[in-house]
Amino acid sequence: MDKTEADELGTYRAVHLTARPIDALLTDVELLIVGLPAAPDTTDEVTARLDDALKNTLVQLRDAGLFLGRFGETLVLDRLPPPYMACSLLVVGMGEISRLDAPAMGILSELAMRSALKLGRCAVGYMVKPPMLNPLPDNVALISREVMAGVLRAIEAHPAIMRCAVLEWIVDDYHVHSEIAKAAMRRELAEWKG
């Protein structure tokens, strides 16, 4: 796994949570998780770069009606071609961006963690980016707490038997309010450990 410097978020059960910038193609993890909205987003450089490396597989699946990015829809792609460093890609449907609020982002993070646990992956990069329709610090903190709560709900619901001693969960640290987001995630984790 890529050992780039990460900010510690904490540990819950056998899951070690950190935050650091993730490069969608060059981060070495077993599972990379990305979000795909229902409507194509021409400003989404990450998804465009991913799909370019996949020879437009996501566009072809959308055009064929096989994966439309509906809320909660998932798709797993294994044995990714170069230049991908990740072994597998989990694409999570985000639905309509205008309807994504903090509780919806928590549901998506819970779905992503449940999937990672079921797939038995030990090193996971999480890049499901919330829409920053309201980038005020209080909203960033609320979304971040909901994302962490979703992750923790999935861990709590999962049987204790895991393939790995510790699952490394890396949250993409990508925006100007990242310090606020990380502090909010740490607060949520502290309350769960309570």
| CA 67/CA 124 separation, integer angstroms | 22
Residue at 101 is within a domain: yes
Residue at 16 is within a domain: yes
Residue at 68 is within a domain: yes
Looking at residue 115, what is its pLDDT?
A: 94
**CATH number for the domain harbouring residue 131:** 3.40.220.10
**Exposure string over 124-157, b if 16+ CB within 10 A, otherwise e:** bbbbbbbbeeeeeeebbbbbbbbbbbbbbbbbee
Domains: count for the chain: 1
Q: What is the 3-state secondary structure (H, E, C) of 138-157?
A: HHHHHHHHHHHHHHHHHHHH
Residue at 11 is within a domain: yes
Give 78's strand partners: 88
* Per-residue pLDDT tens digits of the chain, which is 194 residues long: 555 578 999 999 889 999 999 998 999 999 999 999 998 877 778 888 889 999 999 999 999 999 999 999 999 999 888 888 999 999 999 999 889 999 999 999 999 999 999 999 999 999 998 876 667 889 999 999 999 999 999 999 987 766 777 889 999 987 768 899 999 999 999 999 87
Residue at 25 is within a domain: yes
Looking at residue 161, what is its pLDDT?
A: 64
Looking at residue 165, what is its pLDDT?
A: 77
- A 10 A CB-CB count for 185 gives 25
Question: The domain containing residue 157 runs over which residues?
Answer: 7-193
**Exposure string over 57-72, b if 16+ CB within 10 A, otherwise e:** bbeebbeeeebbbebe
Looking at residue 105, what is its pLDDT?
A: 95
Contact 173, 182 (CB under 8 A): yes
Both structure tokens of 182: 């990380």
The answer for residues whose C-beta is within 8 angstroms of residue 44's C-beta and 6 or more apart is: 37
Contact 29, 2 (CB under 8 A): yes
Residue at 2 is within a domain: no
Both structure tokens of 164: 């790995």
Residue at 1 is within a domain: no
Looking at residue 136, what is its pLDDT?
A: 86
Residue at 74 is within a domain: yes
Looking at residue 67, what is its pLDDT?
A: 95
